[in-house]
């Protein structure tokens, strides 16, 4: 086992404790007075260097905090001034002259947002007690866009036109106006945002058969989507 500690603080304490003792006991422990004095001088230098390093670390920490606060303050002030300059520029006949004098770029003309995404992965749920049909879908709309609504259309005959039946601000729609009777019903979903309309979903076809549900009607099969927690007839 080593006599000298490995931890710096413990090692310095060990030096400082033995330096004066070795000077006093030099002749009794087999070293010269000069050797003991030289060691004590080196031990003191080591302690001073250690303390100076701790002080420098603390000063660096304080300086880092001062720098951070100063940069944050200057950045906040620059942002305030940029807003003032831009507002001033936009009220001039030629805003670009102001931006050039301020040596800042003119605001980029925002590009129009892409249209809403095409609804997909439509799932169907038939509520037995009411006959209502719930549609749910997915749509990965472009980043940074909001306010997308979804138009739902329906037809009960392949020869008929799809008719508007409602709009929703979520990716779910409950059709409570459909009445049992037709062998099948078809739906489409389309995203819309302001004046931008997205592509229409693939046609969802729900085929019915006799079974549990309102009027004894249940879902036989679904084309263009999937059945989710629905009343579905056994194959």
Question: Could you tell me if 157 and 168 are in contact, meaning their C-beta atoms sit under 8 angstroms apart?
Answer: no
Q: Are 143 and 72 part of one and the same domain?
A: no
**CATH no. for residue 139?**
2.60.40.10
- 94 within a domain of the structure (yes/no): no
Q: Is the dihedral of CA 138, 144, 147, 153 positive or negative?
A: negative
Residue 95 within a domain:
no
Residue-wise pLDDT for 119-172, tens only, equals: 999 999 988 778 889 999 999 987 778 889 999 999 988 788 999 999 999 999
Asked if residue 133 and residue 77 are part of one domain, the reply reads no
Domain contains 100: no
pLDDT at 98: 96
Same domain assignment for residues 216 and 139: yes
- Predicted structure pTM score: 0.54
Same domain, 151 and 205: yes
Positions in the chain short of pLDDT 70: 180, 210-217, 228-235
Region of 24 (left: φ > 0; alpha: ψ -120 to 50; beta: rest) is alpha
Domain around 67: 8-87
- Residue at 99 is within a domain: no
End-to-end Cα distance, the chain:
81
Q: Are residues 66 and 129 in the same domain?
A: no
Q: What is the pLDDT of residue 180?
A: 67
Looking from the CA of 183 toward its CB, the CA atoms found within 13 Å total 2
* 21 in the same domain as 76: yes
Three-point CA angle 19, 23, 29, nearest 5°: 100
Total domains in the chain come to 2
Do 130 and 172 reside in the same domain of the chain? yes
- Supply the pLDDT for residue 213: 47
In a domain, 76, yes or no: yes
Q: How far apart are CA 91 and CA 88, in angstroms?
A: 5
Q: Contact, 133 vs 145, CB < 8 A?
A: no
Q: In terms of domains, do 185 and 137 share one?
A: yes
DSSP 146-173: ---EEEEEEESSTTSPPEEEEEESSSEE
């Amino acid at each position: 086992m080593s006599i000298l500690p490995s931890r710096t603080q413990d090692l310095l304490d060990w030096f400082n404790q033995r330096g004066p003792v070795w000077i006093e006991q030099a002749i009794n422990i087999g070293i010269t007075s000069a050797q003991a004095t030289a060691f004590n001088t080196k031990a003191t230098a080591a302690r001073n260097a250690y303390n100076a390093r701790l002080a420098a670390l603390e000063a660096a920490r304080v300086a880092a905090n001062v720098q951070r606060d100063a940069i944050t303050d200057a950045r906040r002030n620059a942002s305030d001034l940029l807003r003032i300059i831009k507002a001033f520029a936009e009220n001039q006949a030629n805003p670009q002259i102001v931006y050039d004098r301020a040596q800042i770029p003119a605001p980029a003309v925002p590009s129009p947002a892409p249209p809403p995404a095409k609804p997909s992965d439509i799932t169907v749920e038939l509520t037995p007690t009411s006959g209502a049909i719930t549609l749910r879908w997915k749509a990965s709309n472009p980043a940074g866009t909001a306010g997308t609504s979804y138009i739902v259309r329906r037809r009960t005959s392949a020869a008929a036109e799809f008719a508007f039946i409602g709009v929703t601000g979520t990716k779910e729609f409950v059709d409570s106006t459909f009445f049992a009777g037709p062998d099948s019903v078809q739906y489409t979903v389309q995203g819309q945002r302001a004046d931008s309309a997205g592509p229409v979903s693939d046609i969802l076809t729900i085929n019915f058969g006799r079974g549990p549900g309102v009027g004894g009607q249940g879902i036989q099969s679904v084309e263009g989507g999937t059945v989710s927690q629905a009343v579905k007839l056994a194959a």
